Chain A
Amino acid sequence: MDLNTSSSARLRAIPWLLLALALFGPVSAAAQTDVRIGIQASGTVKSPLYLARFRAEGGAQGVADEARGVVRRDFELSGVFAVADVDPLREKLTPDPTQTGSVRVEGLVAPAAAGMFRFTGEVFDLGTAESVFRRSYPFGQSDLRVVMHRFNDDVLEALTGERGIAETRIAFIRQDGRYKEVWVADYDGQNARQLTHDRSLALSPAWAPWGTEIAFTTFKRGNPDLYLFDQKRGASYPFSTRPGLNTAPCYSPDGKWIACTLSRDGNAEIYIISRDAQTARRLTRNERIDSSPSFSPTGREIVFTSDRSGSPQVYVMDTEGSNQRLLTLEGKYNDSPQWSPKGDKIVYASRHDAVFDVIVMDSNGQNPVQVTYDAGHNENPRWSADGRKIYFSSSRLGKRQIFMMNPDGSDVVQLTQGEDTFNPAVGPRPRKQSTQPTSG
């Protein structure tokens, strides 16, 4: 094994923990003294990451290069690292205080038994020259991408205390002639495949917290009904087919409830429906539109859209329906709110000057910040599982496509191409125990 010979992969309490915090605001001056990580401006921190060409044994250089390409894109998309390409280490690193806050990633791919391979990745803190992460992953050709995504997420967890999102998946709606169908893809838009084949209108997908179920609206029986797609069975089944609208689903964090819009009582109101018992509890009562509910990460509050004041605005209420109040104080037309995974922010779409743009504000409605500009309509914002990214749809290039960016609007990346594509929905991180909740 000719990865660097330094001491075993010891995870220290690294000041990198700051990175996760720093993404949403200036780091407190009290924080861990002697380390500066990257450049900090407007809440964005990028740490230099020197990614060595992966070494290979037994003629596996092609596999090694392919693996490196996957994780290189992951590191870049993470929003945490500024990636630079370097040659592999040839001798032991020496501490370089001027490089404090920079890391170096080395990799080795070696053949294993039965056509398998083994990837070993190691991360060095260039300031101390110490190994801060090291792990081996067996893999076959078919799961190379999965394993490298896992390595990326492991490295991010080791360095920042917050796992990455490369193992998560997204869903979205794509037009197909007169039809619209649910699609799923990797977090970066790769491996896209069509999930529904209903030859109807499918809309507004929402991912269950346990990751194998997607709620969505479909017109396949004529009415806008809520269906649940079970990815294990590869089939969907009706969830709410009440008269009128059954739209805008959102799972509660514990998966026991699905908040949605029903109009069975006359006009669009927000309900929560028990995932298992399918009993509905009404939360809003007024003559105007109430729609697009999104749970807070604690499950105790719901942010939603209402035009009760005359135009759509973002409101919040307790999950019991009480304490309803206006959150957005700026803008004439605000819609599609979603609570951030950490609970501190709410993202939404705002119409101004005849275009839609994505706005991020504090969850109390303060400090709205426009993060998309001058690029068509930007709508359907959805947080990534770690809150480090925002997915959204944009018409900046013509037909709508799914894009991803940092919460401050930087690093915009297009993830889909082709037919009109919108309504991104973000899946959860993989869980060790992928269990559905029981009734409760």
Chain B
Amino acid sequence: MGVPIMSRSPSIATLALAALLAATLAAVGCSSSKKVSTTPPPPPAPEQTTESEAPPPPPPPSSDQATEGKTSLSDAFFDFDDASLRSDAKTTLENNARYLENHGSAKAVVEGHCDERGSVEYNLALGERRAKAAKEFLVSYGIAGVRLTTISYGKERPFDSGHDESSWAKNRRAHFVSK
């Protein structure tokens, strides 16, 4: 002790102002949220453009995952946040059903997949709904349920790693892997 000079405290007004500014900006932005009806929303625009006509299914993937199990079963594709079967998906699944009829010993795993948007947990559930929707269609066609098992990978195993609608469309699928 005994050193005579006490350290000077620098002004922190600048810091405080910055905090004030940031907080104010946040508050201003918040007020812009819109009132939205709680009724079920339509799917987002990109998927809507082809909603009335059966869209052509996206090209089959070339990734190694698609060829892991050799299969003549094709994949069914879905709209965003939707597990209902589009008309093109039904056409694909009818073809799959005929294949399974003609190959009475064939068994398959139906994998449910999603695009990258949304939470891990919700997409695991959504992928399961897609896989089950595909399986149920085949069962209703007359295929024995024991020949088809389902699993969901959610959004964790995308076929196309892109971040646009063309990639997402390929990733929203029920993917068939022969057992």
Contact = CB atoms under 8 A, between A and B. Distances in A.
B125 interface: yes
A41 B22 CA distance: 9
Contacts of B139: none
Nearest to A38: B16
Closest 6 CB pairs of A and B: A310-B40, A268-B125, A87-B7, A42-B23, A82-B15, A42-B27
A347 to B, nearest CB: 13
Contact of B3 (A39, A91, A368): A91
A252 interface: no
A24 interface: no
B120 A39 contact: no
Contact of A82 (B19, B81, B118, B124): B19
A52 B121 contact: no
Given A38-B16, A91-B1, A291-B125, 8 more contacts: A42-B27, A84-B15, A201-B157, A245-B124, A247-B125, A309-B39, A330-B36, A408-B26
B104 to A, nearest CB: 25
Interface in A302-337: 305, 307, 309-313, 326, 329-333, 335-336
B102 interface: no
A2 interface: yes
B30 A309 contact: no
Interface stretch (A56-64, A369-377, A430-438): A369-377
Interface residue range, chain A: 35 or more
A272 B100 CA distance: 39
Given A46-B15, A313-B38, A351 B151 contact: no
Interface string A334-351: 011000000000000101
Interface of A: 2, 5, 38-39, 41-44, 46, 48, 50, 52, 82, 84-91, 99, 102, 104, 126, 173, 180, 201, 203-204, 217, 219, 222-224, 244-245, 247-248, 261, 263, 267-268, 289-292, 305, 307, 309-313, 326, 329-333, 335-336, 349, 351, 354, 356, 368-371, 373, 377, 379-380, 408-411, 422-423
A173 B81 CA distance: 24
Nearest to A395: B163
Contacts of B16: 38-39, 46, 48, 82
A310 B39 contact: yes
A203 B26 contact: no
A351 B39 contact: no
A173 B155 CA distance: 14
Interface residue range, chain B: 35 or more
Contacts of B38: 309, 313, 326, 329
B33 interface: yes
A311 B40 contact: yes
Contacts of A268: 124-125, 128-129
B12 interface: yes
A371 B2 CA distance: 50
Contact of B120 (A203, A222, A310, A330): A203
Given A43-B23, A84-B10, A201 B128 contact: no
